Structure 1
Amino acid sequence: MATSTPPAKTPKTPKSRKLLVLLIVLGTLVALAAAGTAFYLTSQRKEAASATVAPVDPIFIALEPMTVNLQPNGRSRFLHVAVTLKVPDVKSQALVAQYLPEVRSRLLTALSNRAAESLVTPEERAQLAADIMKTLNQPFVANLPSLKISSVMFTTFMLQ
């Protein structure tokens, strides 16, 4: 019977071993680079999604209309006005409701200290709204935060 001898394993040469190690290292680097890129892109998507958060609905507080006498300049003039306040959150809305008599008092004072001639143009009315906002944003009590009123709008403005 003839016996066959199995083919002898050829010993690996140092060059083929170096090539194998180089391929493993390159494969690992490529895998790490792909994982890093995937992580970076995923985090960018999350940041973009958080940056496009829908805006919060504004909260408007309509105050009752009021009529005030203006500073006299020869004749009696009055202003009938309805004001709506825009606040950023429910906390500010609750503060306005809690301190509503003081809010109205400050508003009446700010309006009645004006001359009729200083309320004619749109720019003068915008200045009045800014002054009212500044007045109302002052804290009502020493340890209380300000209201953070973001806008004062006139829904009725009649000067006579």
Structure 2
Amino acid sequence: MAKDAKPEEGAETPPKKSKKLLIIILAAVLVLVLAGGGAAFFLLKKSDHAEDEEAAEEIAKPAKKDKKKKDKEAPPVFVNLEPFTVNLVPETGDQYLQVVLSLEMEDSTGEPDLKAKMPKVRNNITLLLSSKKASELMPKEGKEKLADALKVEINSVIEPPVKNKKGENVAPEGPVKSVLFTSFIIQ
């Protein structure tokens, strides 16, 4: 028993070395884990930020395209005018023209200008219609020419023509895109 009671000197030193070695290994592993975790955090944070920027750019781009599409796909704005009844230039006796017009506008911003100048627009349309002959208006081409002339006349009232460098009157494009006949009767 005496042998069991004596601790051996050699037995004590190896456990001290193994404890120090174990602590050093654990410290090294802990440093590596923390360094790896920190690096991963910064890399993921940076890539998330880059993805957020890309997502923001992608969101902004379709918004611009949507605006362009909305402009192109915007439903047309139509303004209906009251009927016009005029005497035509006599060819074979008295002839009358009754016409109902609908104006296709570029957008709704031109409508207030049109309504503000409606008395002058109606006067100029009446004068233009009453200067025509029934034979001019009967064929399809005559109606198309009349529609173009009405469009130019209405746009010139809304946006008066300006003179260019040569002194010629140039009619700017007005808000009226086309003139449509909803009723066209010659008697």
TM-score normalised by structure 2 residue count: 0.58
Pair 1:58-2:77 in alignment:
yes
Alignment correspondent of 1:149: 176
Percent identical pairs in the alignment equals: 17
Q: Which amino acid in the other structure matches residue 84 of structure 2?
A: P
Query: Counterparts of 1:37 and 1:89 in 2: how far apart (Å)?
Result: 35
Aligned to 1:97: 115
The yes-or-no answer on 1:111 pairing with 2:138 is no
* Residues 50-70 of structure 1 deviation map (CA, whole Å, 9 limit, x = unaligned): 344362562423223322222
Structure 1 window deviating more from structure 2 (105-114 vs 94-103): it is 94-103
Give the corresponding residue for 2:57. Answer: 40
Output the CA distance in 1 between the equivalents of 2:147 and 2:88: 18
- Map of 1:6 onto structure 2: 20
In structure 2, do the counterparts of structure 1 residues 140 and 69 end up closer, same or farther at CA, with 3 Å as the change threshold? same
Q: 1:47 to 1:59 in 2, by over 3 A?
A: same
Where does structure 1 lack aligned partners over 5 or more consecutive residues? 13-19
Write the distance in 1 (CA, Å) between the matches of 2:49 and 2:105: 50
Q: Which amino acid aligns with 1:46?
A: A
Please tell me the root mean square deviation across aligned C-alpha atoms, in Å. Answer: 3.8
Shift of 1:33: 5.3
Whole-angstrom distance in 2 between the partners of 1:35 and 1:81: 60
Choose between structure 1 and 2: higher helix proportion: 2
Query: C-alpha distance in 1, partners of 2:77/2:122?
Result: 21
- Give, in angstroms, the shift of residue 42 of structure 1: 2.4
Distance 1:128 1:49, change over 3 A: same
Higher relative contact order (CA 8 A, sep 6+): 1
Residue 85 of structure 1 corresponds to 103
Between the aligned partners of 1:89 and 1:120, the Cα distance in structure 2 is: 32
